[in-house]
A and B are shown apart, each in its own frame.
Chain A
Amino acid sequence: MNSIDARIARILSVGTRVAVAFLAVGSILLVAGGTSPLAGGWPPLDVASLPADLLALQPAAFLWLGLIAMIATPLLRVVASTWSFARMGERRMAALGAAVLVVIALAVVAGLAAS
């Protein structure tokens, strides 16, 4: 149990810091490019063009990646917990973790369907 706690704590800490780093870089690039953060009309999220936009130092790409990393961090924690419980033979806890991941997957599908 203690090793699970330590591993998950590390995932949360690293994930948060990486996400905040992307958000900070994106915010600085935004100011450097002369765009007001309160102007509205932000570019839509396009996952396929993210790598190219990152190489082109587009602020929105860094901000989107930071937001995705931030939202993914607690989900990674659930994946890691589920995996650890499954390896330890705690099937009930592993099933509960899997159920949370199914709900998140449903959220993505429902969001896509509604948009």
Chain B
Amino acid sequence: MIVGQLVLLAAGGFGAGVFGSLLGLGGGILIVPLLSVGFGVPFREAVGISLVCVIVTSSAAAGVYLERHTANLRLGMVLEVFTATGALLGGLVAFALPERVLAGLFAALLGWTAFSMLRRSRVEAAASSPADPIDGPGAAGAEGAGGGPASPSLTDEIAGPGYRPRRLGAGAGGSLGAGVLSALLGVGGGIVKVPLMHLVMGVPLKVATATSNLMIGVTAAASAVVYLVRGGIDPYIAGPTAVGVFAGALVGSRLASRIDVRILRLLFVGVLALTAAQMALRALG
């Protein structure tokens, strides 16, 4: 019985790790419903455990992205100031909100995630167009024009090969919101950060995805610290679940090139929609 519970938790984490890795998600969107709906763990505890699992997937994948030079470390560090601040605020607010409110917010997030995954194929098709994400050196607009060669502007410092991030103010504001969302709901916030960097700031999709993954670990750590210090993380459940997530993320990264992710994504949308309905019912009592 006890061994079975441990295996089930690890297997659930493994599944979340595989799916998260294949679909480019941090895993929190799966871990929270798995624990709260599947295992009856109180919502706030599920969020605390999920934050740890999000750090697992982020740290495991971010190292690979950095080795391949896909992630923009400087851009990540600029936006991390805001995601970490948002995560700190969200981590404090999370303990003041009723769990039903959090469950309702999570149901809305699941619905939005399902909707955006359905639309993702269109975004990916647009990203493959050479004119869209890659901005020319002069495309940064007024923000990039302030610094001379002796004193490069912040935009110059965070520019990558073939692009210069723009609208840093909007990026900062959106990152703050992503941090709050991450802390309240136990997700990485990539669902906000990737479109923010790609569509608003003009960062190529691959770089946005990799940089978001790098940032997610720090964002989740900022709120996980609050949960840990306040006794909001159950180590008995977090241990086997996180080990399962780590193993799943490793397997998922190896399966990625062999599986038709489009079919997987459609199946996953169905799972998300069903889970959103269950979470909404829980929120309504």
Contacts and interface: CB of A to CB of B under 8 A. Distances in A.
Given A16-B246, A38-B237, A63-B235, A107 B88 contact: yes
Nearest to B85: A103
A67 interface: yes
Contacts, number: 195
A90 B156 CA distance: 13
Given A6-B66, A100-B84, A73 B217 contact: yes
A66 B1 contact: no
Contacts of B55: 70-71, 73-74
Given A5-B69, A81-B77, A107-B226, A23 B92 contact: no
B24 interface: no
A49 interface: no
A53 to B, nearest CB: 12
Contact of A24 (B217, B221, B231, B243): B243
Contacts of B1: 36
B183 to A, nearest CB: 10
A65 to B, nearest CB: 10
A73 B243 CA distance: 15
A100 B77 contact: yes
The SS class assigned to the B binding surface is helix
B217 A40 contact: no
A6 to B, nearest CB: 7
B131 interface: no
Given A12-B63, A63-B238, A74 B221 contact: yes
Nearest to B218: A74
B195 interface: no
Contacts of B5: 36-38
A37 B9 contact: yes
B228 A45 contact: yes
A26 B69 contact: no
A112 to B, nearest CB: 5
Interface in B1-35: 1-3, 5-6, 9-10
Q: Which of A42, A60, A70, A90 is most buried by chain B, counting CB atoms within 10 A of its CB?
A: A70
Nearest to A1: B73
B224 A71 contact: yes
A108 B223 CA distance: 9
Contacts of B227: 111
Given A10-B63, A12-B63, A38-B5, A110 B221 contact: no
A111 to B, nearest CB: 3
A72 B224 CA distance: 10
A74 B39 contact: no
Given A37-B240, A108-B229, A20 B56 contact: yes
Contact of B240 (A8, A27, A92): A27
Contacts of B229: 108, 111-112, 115
B95 A114 contact: yes
B36 interface: no
Interface of B: 1-3, 5-6, 9-10, 39, 41, 52, 55-56, 58-60, 62-64, 66-67, 69, 71, 73-74, 77-78, 80-81, 84-85, 87-88, 91-92, 95, 154, 157, 217-218, 220-231, 233-240, 242-243, 246
22 contacts: A5-B66, A9-B62, A9-B63, A12-B59, A12-B60, A16-B246, A27-B243, A30-B6, A37-B5, A37-B237, A38-B236, A40-B234, A67-B228, A71-B228, A74-B220, A77-B217, A77-B218, A93-B157, A103-B88, A104-B225, A110-B92, A115-B231
